[in-house]
Amino acid sequence: MHFPGFSADATQFLITHRKISGVGIDTHGVDSGQDTNFTTNSLVLAKPRIVLENLTNLDQLPPQGTTLVIGILRLRGGSGSPAAVMAFF
């Protein structure tokens, strides 16, 4: 599988130096298609953070100053949920 994602080094940098609350990407996973260990998912979700996938129009957001509103379905026993994501800037 060949699609982009966050490298382990980039993810660790964001967690350590940028104190992120989560990551989002426009592909169907934050880990590259080559990463079968799901390193970014593991690093990000080791603490209460969020991973958003299949986002659109990310190129229209400014680099800083965006507020996200994320509506989720609370599913029992699942590892994820569909979400409605809106950005305000």
pLDDT digits (tens, 9 = 90+) for 12-37: 999 999 999 999 999 989 999 889 99
Residue 15's SS3 state is helix
pLDDT digits (tens, 9 = 90+) for 43-83: 999 999 999 999 999 999 999 999 999 998 888 888 788 99
Which of 6, 35, 34 shows the shortest CA–CA distance to 20?
6
How far is Cα 17 from Cα 12, in angstroms, rounded to an integer?
A: 8
Looking at residue 77, what is its pLDDT?
86
10 Å CB burial of residue 40 (0-12, 13-18, 19+) is buried
Tokens coding 62:
């400014």
